[in-house]
Amino acid sequence: MIELKENKLDIDTYLTLRKSVNWKKLSVPQAKMALEHSLFTVCAYDEEGNAVGMGRIVGDGVVIDYIQDLVVRPECQGKGVGRMILERLIKYVKSTKLDDTEIMLCLMCAKGREEFYKKFDFIARPTEALGPGMIQYIR
């Protein structure tokens, strides 16, 4: 049984889950500020209380939000944990949308994970109307 906890993600858990999927190493101050500036976090725990996944929402909460750091430990992938986290993140964003408006929910997924997100109505770019996503690393 997986339990989701909202807005309880701590620095150590955040860094450990990122490391489990070989993402870039962050400094503790980076991790602290990232979590403090998140609009919403969710962390998934197994029946023994071990963190097995997480996700964050960053953005302005009314015009555009981003799903950030959606991670599921490799040994727990394919068991519905990612789906549970993603559904909870989407539910949160829907709850912040102002009446009679729309909010854009964006993400950048790892290569090969596009089909997972398409199941939740995300659109892969580029399309006829939307250019490709872009990124810049500032060092």
126 lies in some domain: no
In a domain, 55, yes or no: yes
What distance in Å separates the CA atoms of residue 25 and residue 82, rounded to the nearest whole number?
Answer: 22
Q: What is the mean pLDDT of residues 8-24?
A: 97
Say if CB 96 and CB 103 are below 8 A apart.
yes
Question: Does some domain include residue 103?
Answer: yes
Give 133's pLDDT tier (boundaries 50, 70, 90).
Answer: confident
CATH code of 113's domain: 3.40.630.30
Quote the number of domains for the chain: 1
Q: Is residue 128 part of a domain?
A: no
State the residue range of the domain holding 92. 3-118
Q: What is the pLDDT of residues 71-129, one digit of tens each?
A: 999 999 999 999 999 999 999 999 999 999 999 999 998 888 899 999 999 999 899 99
Angle at which helices 28-36 and 11-20 cross, to 10°: 110
pLDDT for 107:
95
CB atoms within 10 A of CB 74: 10
Residue 139 lies in a domain: no
Global pTM value: 0.94
Backbone φ and ψ for 9, nearest 5 degrees, come out as -65, 120
In the block, residue with structure tokens 């962050």: 26
Amino acid 111: pLDDT: 86
- 31 located within any domain: yes
